[in-house]
Structures are given as structure tokens and as C-alpha cells.
């Protein structure tokens, strides 16, 4: 996705930046330790698929924001690493849920950062466009469709009705449904931080 794509009809992100993310040569010891965990930890395996740093080594998007307060940033990045690399959801389910959050929050960075990962997981551009259009994509299996439905309900209502909970639990199991819930909350938090702090 290029930087000018509109998400669900929302206006383009503001051109102004509010915070400056320090470069790799400007980090204090706590920031450097966190920087190294982000760039050398499990996310390194996705280099080229989900962007972490620019050509100069400056952390991108929410990763750079985590450096602003490394003690909190460490906890935030660890939750993200657990959801991405130690969870039970399939890569397709995970990326679908993340892109639902990006689309509903109007988070251009999160969409850009995960569109390539979604394609690498086997989703196609038409399915991604359907997400942008507020539709449930065609040709999803039952678990994938359920992940999308749950993510949409959580973003729209900040809740899940009893019947939707029962149906989703039957497909994903309680642990899988809990993971989708944490995933939607985590990426919603990142989208909020990006909107407020604007690196």
C-alpha cells in the first residue's frame, strides 16, 4: 500500500509529526536494550515482510514509540511478540484480524505494515480490498471468517454478544477467542498511539 491510500473513506493521516523517534546512534542504554530486543528478537525472522526499521535503522511506527518510555515499551513489545510468534491462530487469521483493526481505526501505518504479511500468508488483494470496503472477504474458511466477524464486532461494539461468543467459541475454542480478543485490543492500542503521538 502506498502512503496515500484511504482506509474506509477516512481522511489521510495528518502531515504533521508530534514526536521524534531517536535514531540508533541517539539511544540511551535502556532504549538501546529495547531496540536490540525489537530488532534482534523473533521479529527479525519477518524482515522484509513486516517493516521494523528504515534504511538508517530508525524504528518505524509503534516500535519507535516504544522507545519513548522503554520500561513500558518493553512490556508492549513483549505482548506483541507473544501474539505474533507464540499464539495459536493461523497466520491468515492473525493478519485478517490485524487488518480489520487497521481498517476500522483508519491506521495507515498498520495497514501498510501488515498488508504484505497478509499476502505472504496466502490472502489475495481482492480479499484485502473487501476488508477495506467493510465486507467479510470471500473464500475464507470457518475459523478465518470467525476471526473477522469477532474482530469487526469488537471494534464496532467493544463487546461480543452472548450468541456471538458461543458461536465463536465453538469454532475457535475459548483460548483462540481469547487470543483474537487480545490481538484486537493490542493492535487497537498501537493504532491509538500512532494517532496520538504521530511519529
Walk me through the domains of the chain, giving residue ranges and CATH numbers.
24-85 (no CATH), 91-193 (1.20.1290.10)
Q: Report the pLDDT value the prediction gives residue 14, as an integer from 0 to 100.
A: 57
What is d(CA 24, CA 67) in angstroms, rounded to the nearest whole number? 11
Distance CA 183, CA 195 (A): 18
Q: Output 158 or 47, whichever has higher pLDDT.
A: 158
Whether the predicted pLDDT of 176 surpasses 80: yes
CB-CB neighbours of 38 under 10 Å: 23
Q: Is 87 exposed, middle or buried (0-12, 13-18, 19+ CB in 10 A)?
A: middle
Backbone angles phi, psi at 53, to 5 degrees: -140, 155
pLDDT at 112 over 70: yes
**Residue-level pLDDT at 48:** 82
Residue 5: the pLDDT is 45
pLDDT higher than 50, residue 39: yes
pLDDT at 81 exceeding the cut of 70: yes
- Would you place residue 6 in the very low, low, confident or very high pLDDT band (cuts 50, 70, 90)? low
pLDDT at 8 over 60: no
Tens-digit pLDDT profile for residues 128-159? 999 999 999 999 999 999 999 999 999 999 99
Length of the chain as a residue count: 199
Cα–Cα distance between 150 and 129 in angstroms, integer?
A: 19
> Residue 12: is its pLDDT beyond 90?
no
Q: What pLDDT shows up at residue 2?
A: 42
State how far the Cα of 153 lies from the Cα of 146, in Å rounded to an integer: 10
Residue 100 has pLDDT above 70, yes or no: yes
* Cβ 139 vs Cβ 92: under 8 Å: no
CA–CA separation, 139 and 116 (whole Å): 19
DSSP 3-state assignment of 8?
coil
Q: What is the pTM of this model?
A: 0.91
* The CA-based dihedral angle spanning residues 177, 181, 182, 188, taken in that order and rounded to the nearest 10 degrees: 150
Give pLDDT, residue 46.
83
Rounded mean pLDDT, 84-96: 96
Query: Using 50, 70 and 90 to split pLDDT, how confident is the model at 15?
Result: low
pLDDT more than 70, % of the chain: 92
Rama region for 141: left / alpha / beta (φ>0; ψ in -120 to 50; rest): beta
Give the C-alpha distances (Å, rounded to integers) separating 144 from 4, 34, 119, 176: 28, 33, 14, 11
Amino acid at each position: 500500500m502506498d502512503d496515500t491510500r484511504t482506509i474506509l473513506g477516512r481522511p489521510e493521516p495528518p502531515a504533521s509529526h508530534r514526536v521524534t523517534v531517536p535514531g540508533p546512534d541517539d539511544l540511551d542504554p535502556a532504549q538501546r536494550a529495547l531496540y536490540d530486543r525489537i530488532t534482534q528478537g523473533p521479529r527479525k525472522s519477518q524482515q522484509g515482510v513486516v517493516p521494523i526499521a528504515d534504511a538508517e535503522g530508525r524504528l518505524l511506527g509503534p516500535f519507535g514509540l516504544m522507545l519513548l518510555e522503554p520500561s513500558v515499551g518493553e512490556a508492549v513489545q513483549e505482548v506483541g511478540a507473544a501474539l505474533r510468534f507464540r499464539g495459536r491462530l493461523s497466520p491468515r487469521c492473525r493478519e485478517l484480524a490485524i487488518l480489520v483493526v487497521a481498517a476500522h481505526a483508519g491506521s495507515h501505518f498498520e495497514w501498510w505494515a501488515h498488508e504484505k504479511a497478509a499476502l505472504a500468508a496466502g490472502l489475495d488483494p481482492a480479499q484485502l480490498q473487501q476488508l477495506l470496503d467493510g465486507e467479510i472477504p470471500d473464500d475464507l474458511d470457518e475459523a478465518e471468517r470467525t476471526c473477522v466477524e469477532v474482530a469487526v464486532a469488537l471494534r464496532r461494539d467493544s463487546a461480543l454478544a452472548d450468541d456471538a461468543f458461543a458461536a465463536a467459541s465453538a469454532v475457535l475454542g475459548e483460548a483462540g477467542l481469547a487470543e483474537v480478543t487480545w490481538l484486537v485490543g493490542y493492535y487497537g492500542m498501537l493504532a491509538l498511539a500512532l494517532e496520538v503521538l504521530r511519529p
